[in-house]
Structure formats: structure tokens, C-alpha cells
Amino acid sequence: VDGKKARHEHVSLTLIKKTAPSNEKIRLVFPLGSLYERETYFYTTVFPQLEKLRQEFKVKDSFAVVPQVYKTSLAELNEALLLEDMAAFGYKQWNLLGSLDREHSLLVARSYGKLHALSFALRRLKPAVYHKLEENTPDHIHRVLRLTEDRKVGLKAQMNLALSCLDKEEDRIAYKALEEYFGRVLETIQAAEAGAGDHSVLAHCESWIN
């Protein structure tokens, strides 16, 4: 997109439009409206607040890899975000079907660490601000997992796929542990969330890379 700023300076932007599927069956499984509402809130409110904290306390090595958001829509069936294209800075879309190599796995872990560190800092230094953000970013995972029988079938298929990566005999300890976990996955998530307390963080809902 080419245009001009208020002072008639030329500007050229490369943008990405992220839109929610309008397929009715998908919407029966995933609460896309509330998910986009949460993501929009993150880009327009949470990330700017974390950046403000970072600048106020002059944190140099911190999480700052966030595209600028130019426009959002929360209209039903037309949920969308117009974002800065990070490819202009050298970032590339990772193959969703492929695994991460060691270098990128460490990069992801360190980036999450920096993001969560800002949550801990905000909670301690500006508790009122933190709790307001927390109230407006509820966890949707339970709602997604509970919605329909179709979703349960899909979740079971994903679990079986994960188990198939292990050999039942050679990896029997890991296989048994994973199998037992899958039998109580929802209860485990609920217990972890309920007991998070001071260890909870502001988390973006779409962390698919991990």
C-alpha cells in the first residue's frame, strides 16, 4: 500500500490481513468471535501496555517482536485484523507441518520467557493495571475443549497421532505417561489454571508455533 502521511511524506506499507473463517461448522467448534476479540485486545491494549512498561523501566533485552496493527473488525462473520507484514523485517512463516530445529526452539522459548517476564514485572510494579488486563483476557481453552462431540473426536485423533510418534515397547515409560496424561488432559489444564495464582501470565491465545 502506497500513500502519504499528514505532512505529505510518502509511505509504503506491506500488510497482512488476518480473517476469521465464516464456515458454520468451524464456528460451532471454535468461539472465533471471542477469540478475535481477545486477540484484538492484545494488539490494541496489552502489547502497548507491556511496551510502555519496557520503556518506562528502560528494559533493553526484552520482548518486542509485535507487528503494528492498523485496523480491526469484530463484526460477526467479518472478524479481521490488518497487521504489519513482518516479512519486511526478515521473518518467515514456519511450515505448520514441520518441527522446529534446535535454534528456533531456543528462540521461541527465550521469546516466551521475555514476554512472561514482562507479565511478572507488570503484576509487581503496576498490579491494578495487570489485573485489569487479566480480567479482559480470559482463557478460552476450556470452552473450546467442551463444545461439541466433534471437537472431542478431533482432540482424541490428535492425541493418538502424538502417541503414534512413540514406540509402545521401546518408549514404554514415556508412552504410558503420555497416555495417562491424555486421559485427564482437561482436568490437568483446569487444575493448573486454578492454581496458577501469582504465577499466571498474560498469554496470547494463538501460540501455535509451540
Together in a domain, 132 and 150: no
The number of C-alpha atoms within 13 Å of 49 and in the hemisphere containing its C-beta is 22
Together in a domain, 86 and 164: no
Together in a domain, 65 and 125: yes
Q: What is the pLDDT of residue 104?
A: 87
Together in a domain, 62 and 129: yes
Q: What is the pLDDT of residue 166?
A: 92
Together in a domain, 117 and 49: yes
Together in a domain, 49 and 132: yes
Residue 209 lies in a domain: no
Together in a domain, 126 and 170: no
Together in a domain, 197 and 176: yes
Q: What is the pLDDT of residue 122?
A: 96
pTM summary value: 0.75
Q: What is the pLDDT of residue 144?
A: 59
Together in a domain, 196 and 159: yes
Q: Please give the residue range of the domain that contains residue 68.
A: 12-90+103-138
Q: Residue 9 to residues 3, 69, 84: CA-CA distances in angstroms?
A: 8, 20, 19
Q: What is the pLDDT of residue 210?
A: 45
Together in a domain, 156 and 119: no
- Which burial class, exposed, middle or buried, applies to 153 when counting CB atoms under 10 A from its CB (0-12, 13-18, 19+)? exposed
Residue 5 lies in a domain: no
Residue 96 lies in a domain: no
Mean per-residue pLDDT pooled into runs of 10, the chain (210 residues): 80 90 81 88 94 92 85 95 90 80 88 92 95 85 58 76 91 92 77 72 68
Give the alpha-carbon dihedral of 41, 206, 144, 175, to 10 degrees: -150
Together in a domain, 22 and 81: yes
Q: What is the pLDDT of residue 85?
A: 92
Residue 185 lies in a domain: yes
- Domains: count for the chain: 2
**6 three-state secondary structure:** coil
